[in-house]
Structures are given as C-alpha cells and as structure tokens.
Chain A
Amino acid sequence: MIDEIREVAKQYPESRSAILPALRIAQERYGWLTREAFEQVAEALDVTPAYCMSVATFYDMFRLEPAGRHTIEVCTNISCALVGAQKTLEAFERELGVHPGETSADGEVTLRTVECYGGCGWGPVVAVDGRYHEPVKPDDVPGIVQGLRDA
C-alpha cells in the first residue's frame, strides 16, 4: 500500500497533495481509518499520523469508526426533502432497523443522511456504495436493501 500511495503522489509537485487519495486507498484497504491505516499513510507521505488524522476529520467521506460492508446514504437537503426524502429515509430505517449513523445488527449496512449530493432535479437521491439512485421512493427501499443482502 505504501508503494501504491507513493506512486499516486508522483503526480503532484508536493507529495503531501496526495493525502486525500492516500486516505481513500487506506480506507478501502482497512474498511475504515484505523490507527494502522493512519500510520501507513503517514509513512508513505512523510507526515505524522496526527497530521493525517487532522485532515481526515475535516472531510465527510472518511470513516473514523468501523462501518458496515455496504453504505446507504440518503440526501436530506432541501430539494430532496421537498419531494419526500424523509419518507424515503424512514423506509430505510424500518427496513434496516437502525437510525441514521448506525449499522444494521448483522454488520452489513450502514445508514447515513448526507448533505446535497447534486441530484436535486431527480430527488430523493440515495447513494448505495457510492452509486447514485435517482429518485428513490419508499416503495423502492425493500428492493435496494435486498439487493445488497444478496450481493
């Protein structure tokens, strides 16, 4: 992983610029940003683990605690909310038995709400493992969750 990060860093005039791609690589490797993940990124880019943590905590897409194998993100910003995002979110809560920010009991799926994902005209927008589904109505929810459980 250290070699992979150093390879990415070559694109930049200063290697520290590669910290976001490096943290992304580490997160994919470990599932979330563990102490060891920060140490690896720090070593690859010649910065301290504390520096890597200070950067990671600024950005929403980094996971700082264990998460499910899959992630479901529901946009609840104004455009999506005006067309029923809360009802879509509640359908996911019922289907998964969790509140936003939590992971299902089987450890499979983490549910989050997110700020505007840029699909406003086709809301409510839901991202499943990073891929957008537009729009997602409450009736679509059981199928999406079943699809993840079968995957």
Chain B
Amino acid sequence: MPRGNIVLAGAEERPLTSIGAYRDAGGYVQLAKARQMEPQQVIQEMLDSNVRGRGGAFFAAGRKASFIPRDSPKPVYLTVNADESEPGTFKDREIMLRVPHRLIEGCLIVAHAISSKHVFIYIRGEYLTEFEIIRAALDEARAADLLDGVTVVLHRGAGAYICGEETGLLESLEGKRGQPRSKPPFPAISGLYASPTLINNVETIATVPKILEIGGAEYAKIGPPDSTGTRVFSLSGNVVRGGNYELVNGTTLRELIYDIGGGIPDGRELKAIIPGGSSTPILTASEVDTQLDYDALAKAGTMFGSGAIVAIDDRCCMVQLGLRVAQFYMHESCGKCTPCRVGTRWMVQILHSIEDGSAHQGDLDLLLDVCDRILGKCLCPLGDAAAMPVASYVNRFRAEFQAHIDHGGCPFGGASSLENVFAPVDQHHHAPVAEETPV
C-alpha cells in the first residue's frame, strides 16, 4: 500500500524538532517562496490541491481561506486548532512532537495567504510536552527572524472537548466558557473578537508547505479525486501495532489493520471498526475492505471524521461500547442546547438499563427515537456525535442489544472487554446517573 510522505516527511527515523534539522530536510524554503507570491496565488494553489480539512469536517481548505475578506477594516486572525480530543485521535500530537517547524511554516504561509499578522495556536491543555516542543520551535523561528512581523501566540486549553469545535474554540480563546456560537455569521466574517478568522486543523496547516513545493495541481494527483493527498491515520484498539501511519487516502481498512497494524492480537476475531473517531458510525468486520476516503466511507454509511480507526475484537459488548461513548458525550456536552444536554443523559440511562437487564421491550426503539431527536437539532455537532454512533451500534448489532433485553442482562456474563469501565462522568456526579430524570 502507498505510504505517504508529506506531513511527517523526514521524521521517519527521528523527530525533526530543531530548526537546523528541519532546514536540512528542506524546511522553510516554501515560506520564502510563498512570501514572494501574491496571497491570492497561495490560496489558488490550495484550491488546486483540493486539500480538505483534516480536523474532521473535511471542508475544502482553499475555499475556507478564500472566504476571508480582502478589504477588512478589522484585523484578520489565523487560529490553529490543536485541541485534538476526539476519542481515538492522536495524530496532531504526533505532528507537533515530530515536525513542529512544519506546523509553524504552514502557519506563516497561510497567514500570508489571508494577509493576517496574528496567529493563535490553541493547543489542548493536556498536551504538555507537545506545548513545550512547539514553544521551543517558535522561539527558534523567532530568533531566526522568520516571523516577519507576524505574532504567534501559543494558547493552552484547560480540558474541554467542545473547544475543538471552531466557535467553541473562539469563545474559549476570548476568555469565556467554550460554548459554541450559532452560525451564521461564520468565523470568516465574524470570528475572534468579531473579526475575520480562519480556523484550520494542525494537519491541514502542516500539509500546506508540500502543496507549495510540488504545486496544487500535482498534489491533487495523489489519492482519490474527492480525498486528495495523505492523512496521518491514528490506529488503536485491539490491534497488534497501534500508532500513527501516514498513508495515501484510499488505502483500505484491511491494509491498515492487518498489513500495517499486524492484525488482531491474542488470536481474537475482528468484530467492528470505528473508522473516523468515536463520533462516526461503526462498521462491521465484513466491511473491512472499505477504502479510507470520503466517498467510500459515505457510501458505507459512515464518515471519514478525524482519521482515527479503532479496531474492536469479539470480546467487546456493543451495549457497553455504546454506553461508554454516550457517557463521554454526556460529560462533554456544553449544556447550551437542550436536545444534547438532556438527550445524551437520557441515552446513558437507557443504555445502563439495557446493560443491567432492567430495560423493557420497546426501549431499543426509544433509544433510537432519542438519537433521532438529537440529530441535527443543536447548534453544533456534539449531539450528533453522540447520536450517530450509538444509533449505528443498535442498527448494526440489533440482535446483541435485543439479547440483553430478552435475557435480562449482558450475554457476555462479565467477560466483555469493556465490563464495568469507570467513566469520568460517574466521578463528577455524586448521585448515580440512573437516578436523575430527564425533563
């Protein structure tokens, strides 16, 4: 299978953390080139490349940059989303640890493209070592006079998944609770401090130097037309060699899980695959030949998401998986929209009752109904991120859910790999979740 060599290029053997090592690998040449180009030309290369946002929404990055007004009387901001928190995803962390200067070079190129003098890198608070490495790299870039009047502020989050949502991130960066805004207006028009703001994921930004190096048209020839280029795929779960692997889009799940990841350990069987982070609908083992690209995954009824693949073996109870995923989104719901705030809690209650054998016939349909009443009814996608995967577990493993109800408990009899996992939500709520009643 084709290995990618774009975002992590040069860092295969050792991290390229020092500016000298990065320059030896061709670093900062594209920045100099970009600054000789008109900003619009840089955006044109991004448009030609058809590179799409690597944070999860997969929106065309060149188009997003082109939305920034050229004649704004207000300052224009570039904000890098390094608040990686989607369960299963750890690729941006690898990029920051191994090629911090590629992220900085990308920032400065994109800042030039939108004529911005102010860059904020919003890095999740838990990424302490990554913060230190980016800070050191920034100091080196500043000492080497590469910033050219652009201020780059490294801003640490403080533990809130929702701040990875772009308007939640902006609220947080303005010193508020990170509750998403209603759109429109979109950040390109009214973002940070009500000024035009472009927000891009770490991996998207780190791809831009290569796009300038080979040209957008040449980049567009890599991978399938709707999913050009590479992604740094995060592989985890029940697999022999978990880790980050940069691959050309269109690689199959089978190649990633078996050929690269070494397959399923302990002689177990693959049962299910989460293809794009915990918010994406699940695939069954029979769909392992699905390609990792936007169209193929959409056709399979799921999403490319954050490029995080979680392999799940036959020891896992799907009700427990649904419960743990729902607990996460309940914990991370910002509380602004009622369907998400109340609905995620209700999902957790129903899943608890299915798991412990106290659910009634009809509760499965009630669960699907609750999911349906969350989907598309909130300001941001967090509610959807809970409803979509859980509904997919019920739809694809309905017999397993039904068996819990019919037999009054978990058919795994305590042997599931997710048995009794202690979720943080149980730590913060002193009363058991099941005793709280939804409105």
Assess whether A55 is in contact with B177, with CB atoms less than 8 Å apart. Answer: yes
Interface centre among B90, B93, B423 (most CB of A within 10 A): B90
Question: Complex formed: what's the CA distance from A24 to B308 in Å?
Answer: 30
How many A-B Cβ pairs are below 8 Å? 171
Contacts of A132 in B (CB 8 A): 129
Q: Is the CB of A78 within 8 A of B172?
A: no
Contact across chains for A122 and B159 when beta carbons are under 8 A apart: no
Q: B residues within 8 A CB of A55?
A: 175-177
For B93, give the chain A residue with the smallest CB separation: A118
Asked whether B310 is an interface residue with its Cβ less than 8 Å from the other chain, the reply is: yes
| B437 smallest CB distance to A (angstroms) | 23
B310 and A119 contacting across the interface, CB-CB below 8 Å: no
Of residues 3 through 51 on chain A, the ones whose CB sits less than 8 Å from some CB of chain B are 11-14, 16-21, 23-24, 45
Are the CB atoms of B427 and A62 closer together than 8 Å?
no
- With A58-B177, A58-B178, A59-B160: A118-B310 Cβ-Cβ less than 8 Å: no
Q: Does B215 interact with chain A (Cβ within 8 Å)?
A: no
A interface size (C-beta, 8 A): 49
Pairwise interchain contact B93-A113, C-beta atoms closer than 8 A: no
Contacts of A103 in B (CB 8 A): none
Instruction: Assign chain B's interface to a size class.
Output: 35 or more
Q: Indicate if the CB atoms of B310 and A101 lie closer than 8 Å.
A: no
Which chain B residue has the least Cβ–Cβ distance from A76?
A: B421
The one of B156, B161, B324 that contacts A81, using a Cβ cutoff of 8 Å: B324
A86 to B421, CA, bound (A): 6
CA distance A77 to B237 in the complex (A): 11
Q: Is A151 an interface residue (CB 8 A)?
A: no
Indicate which residue in A19, A85, A130 contacts B175 across the interface (CB closer than 8 Å): A19
Contact (Cβ within 8 A) A60 B427: no
Minimum CB–CB distance from A104 to chain B (whole Å) comes to 16
CB neighbours of B153 from chain A (8 A)? 11-12
A148 CB–B CB distance under 8 Å: no
Q: Does B68 contact A (CB under 8 A)?
A: no
Residues of B within 8 A of A118 (CB): 84-85, 89-90, 92-93, 124, 126-127
The one of A62, A76, A82, A83 in contact with B422, judged by C-beta atoms closer than 8 angstroms, is A76
A115-B87 CB under 8 A given contacts A60-B159, A76-B424, A123-B236: yes
Chain A neighbourhood of B228, CB < 8 A: none
Asked whether A115 lies within 8 Å of B328 as measured between CB atoms, the reply is yes
**Known pairs A115-B332, A118-B89; A78 contacts B158 (CB<8 A):** no
Docked complex Cα distance between A89 and B424 (Å): 12
Task: Decide: A86 near B90, CB < 8 A? Known: A59-B159, A81-B324.
Answer: no
Say how far B385's CB is from chain A's closest CB, in angstroms: 13
0 or 1 for each of A87-122: is its CB under 8 Å from B? (1 = yes) = 001000000000011000000000011111111111
Q: A82-B237, A116-B87, A120-B308 are in contact. Are A17 and B175 (CB under 8 A)?
A: yes
Q: Which 9 A-B pairs have the closest CB atoms?
A: A121-B242, A60-B159, A120-B236, A16-B175, A59-B158, A61-B159, A79-B236, A116-B87, A19-B175
Can you list 15 pairs linking A and B with CB atoms under 8 Å apart?
A17-B174, A20-B175, A24-B125, A59-B178, A61-B126, A77-B87, A78-B310, A81-B417, A89-B422, A112-B427, A116-B87, A118-B124, A119-B93, A120-B236, A120-B308
